[in-house]
Amino acid sequence: MKILVPIKRVPDPELKVKIKDGAIDLSGASWVVNTFDEYAVETALRLRENAESGESHGEVVVVTIGPEDAAQQLRSALAMGADRAIRVDGEDRALDARVVAAALARVIEAEKPDLVVMGKHGTHVTEELLLGSVTLDVLAESRCDVLVVVDPRAAAPALTAG
């Protein structure tokens, strides 16, 4: 089984925010893989592994969109156990949800994975409280199954049928 995992780099949340000219200054920021995307990589690796024999079946491919230094986050995912990494060139300032979702759609079309595993993230927009906008777009456009991973430490949501 071929599993594709989109990952995003984010400024390290442990660092203090610096403001310059009324905007957040990211010039000296250190970057890490988004926590939910780390969960997605871990989930993909578990799906690939046979629990009884410990053998790996299939391939986990991570993809990110960003500048050259985003390759560091890809190396982190490779160190976790991913088999291959793809970086789509892009500048952080030019990347909005629609651009990222369109680029991911092209990668999904080219790679033809059996499954896309991606992290979930909350936003301030009402319709996107449960899933981030890129996740929603990939769910709408993808021609393969998509598994959205939430924080495994969080309490399970209460579901009611009525």
CATH architecture of 2-11+24-149: 3-Layer(aba) Sandwich (3.40)
In 3D, which of 99, 98, 133, 96 has the Cα closest to residue 118? 133
Listed by start position, the domains of the chain span 2-11+24-149
Who contacts 141 (Cβ-Cβ below 8 Å, separation ≥6)? 101, 105
| pLDDT of res. 57 | 83
Residue type, 98: R
| pLDDT of res. 42 | 93
Q: What is the pTM of this model?
A: 0.76
Q: Which residue has 């925010």 as its token pair?
A: 17
| pLDDT of res. 12 | 79
Mean pLDDT by 10 residues, the chain (162 residues): 91 78 76 89 90 79 93 96 95 79 89 88 39 63 68 52 39
